[in-house]
Structure 1
Amino acid sequence: MKKIILFFALVVVGLSTLQAQDANNRWLIGIGVNAVDTYPTNVGDSHFPGQSWWTDEYFNATDHWNIAPYPSSLTVSRYLGGNFSFGVFGSVNKISKVGDASTYLGKQIDDFSYYGVDGFFKYSFNTEGAFEPFLKIGGGYSWIDTVGAGTLNGGAGFNWWFTKKKNVALNFQSTYKHSFEDYLIPHFQHNVGIAYKFGGKDTDGDGIKDSEDACPEVAGLPEFNGCPDSDNDGVQDSEDECPEVAGLKELNGCPDSDGDGVADKDDRCPDAAGSKELNGCPDSDGDGVVDIDDKCPNEAGPASNNGCPEVVVDNTQELIDALAKTIFFEFDSARLTPDNQITLNKIADLIEKTDKTYNLTIEGYADNVGPKSYNQTLSEKRAKAVADYLTSTGVAPADVSTVGFGENNPVADNKTKEGRAENRRSEIKITLVSK
């Protein structure tokens, strides 16, 4: 008996060194205390012909149960799949009560030894939850004193997995063992003990077995199915765009130092709150040029001028002075000379730079040589030649009109050669309107 007690003590010590198990571990080992009940076991049993049904006084532990006062049972089983397990149950006990009898097989009952070795198939009704009821069926061999025989067994029980990882349980079970030999009395065997699950592989040592570990080769956390969260920001590394720096879930694990809703990695201005449209940078003057690029961050201005307001030069007088120049033509011609083009180019440039709206009227004139009708047409051609040139340089056609005055309104005496040259001309009149 001392050897048996030592054996169970070693099992208990061994169990204390097991790593944490989980619900998917295929191996289970249990240690417990068993009770053998030989009364009653069937109607008209050959040993006790006056007794009744199997369950008569089933819970009468005081009068009928033989309870070992020490660890007296050992269970080892392996999960097969589909809620089925196969295992071996071994037990020892002392028999001092065999129903109401005082003798057994012709011997005075006096702490007969009891040994049992049984194989069983177990079906569990709930392999995931804390409460796991089950049924057992199998067979084995039991000895009372020195008499042994084979038995056919059936039983029921439950495990209550009470640890967080559901790897340690309280085990309760009751098994009926029926012998077909007259020399071994059929009996019940009850057992209560502790069960442990173990044996699942945990490559990364994070306490989560490979079968449930989404990252089996990298230590991680249970809430992420075994995957790591290196920066402890609540976003696992595989989904964290900034796995080495703690950040926000809504920014996929990246930080937002200035709180503008733009992750620092995408923020051109991570230390100054800005807008998403401007890549996280502020635009103090609202001109569309961010402050870091804006040479005048407190004054609105176009991007073409680096965010600074453009300085508008009033060139009105210069334009008026340029327009005061007369465009002169050769005799009987409406062709612009190179000097005319230089003058008109300057006028077009000044018009482009003005900040005012305007209307141009191009007037054409002729001398009095030739018929008046001819000179009228020639003056109109001269006005149109000037207008066409200006619009070709970018002046809006809608802002230009022409008129011909023929021989009218001479500025010099047509009786002289010099006077007639001054009258062959075109004048530009402008009307300016402030914007």
Structure 2
Amino acid sequence: MKAMYVRVVLLCLAALFLGACGGSSGGGDKATLAKLRDETQRDAAIEELVAAGAASGPTLTKALEDPAIRQAASDALIRIGAPIAPYVIRARDHKDVQVKIAATTVLTALTTQDEAAKESAEATAFSWVSMNGPFGGSVMCVNEDSDGCLLAGLANAGVACSRDNGGTWTTAETGLSEYTVWSIASLNDVLYAATNGHGVFKSTDCGDNWEHSSKGLGNSFVHAVQPVGAVMYAGTRGGVYRSVTGGKNWDLSSDGLDDDEVRCLGSARGVLYAGTSGGDVYRLSPGRTAWGKVGPDLAEGAILSMQLLGDWVYAGSEDGQVFRSTNGGGTWKALPDGLGGEAITSLAEIGSAIFAGTNGGGVRRLMPDDTWATLDEGLLNPTVTAMHVSGNNILSGTDGGGIFFAAARDAEE
């Protein structure tokens, strides 16, 4: 009789110990479960469980069995993160199929959470190095010709060229040495430069010499030049113009544009996109002569930059927003904040990674969970005015600090 009494006492003590330590995977804390079922106490109970971390495992996995609080328990498990995984793995083998589904969903979220954390850690290791110029003014655009000659469009200083990957820079000898160059594009070994108030210039010698090439261009304030096939387009304050004669003549191509102050152009798969000062995006499809508005009233400020990956279109605005369309502009999503409200002066892409250059907030990278990571190590000037991908490097032009580069592999690791 005495032996039986001792065994009962020991069993009771063991039960109390397991309950206090959270050792039972199926019991949970009845009082806490009751609070979770009470809508007036649920939020407070969840905060307590999250604060307790892994010790809340038994209670929260038990809560998955109750349809009324299953979603709340799932959210709490995800918030706690990896330490809770062993309990959820056991819950995945539950006899109730709904509990299995809930546990599997939580585990999937934890895996995604872990991958995002790794991506974020890798992003913060991204490091910039100065390219030794060009100094003295804002770098308004960066590009390169077919021979790998780097070109930088400058504010009130024309074009600077480098034939040694940014080691040394020279400025254009003739043509546009005192003009602001907003955009540079290459087509058939000819360079085109868009200037602020002086039309379009072109060069055939890596930007050493430039000649005026604006016949037929109805507006001399040109913000962007963009080739599509064998045609060169120019976005101006007075609409879009096109040249099929290598810049010798330009024709107006603005049918369908309600807002004719074009701030940027981009193309992919033969489709041309235009961002305007009114915050709209327009599309010109192959074989069409009229533009269609695909991003009406997208932003409060002007669309300053675009980046295209097939049918995926990214648009950066003057008021610090980035918008994404996954169907060629059919529908748009405003990506979450995290850019500090700074103007998105430029966008670039490496592989599937998107980078945003901002006016004062440096460079940000879009992470898999649609948040933004700051990439400012080594970037001595946070006012980024232009971006370009060259070989294995991503280049960022700044306001007075020259150009910085970082190895593209750092972004892909």
TM-score over 0.5 for the pair: no
Whose helix fraction is larger, Structure 1's or Structure 2's? Answer: 2
Tell me the TM-score range normalised by the shorter chain: under 0.3
Which has the larger Rg?
1
TM-score normalised by L of structure 1 = 0.18
Higher relative contact order (CA 8 A, sep 6+): 2
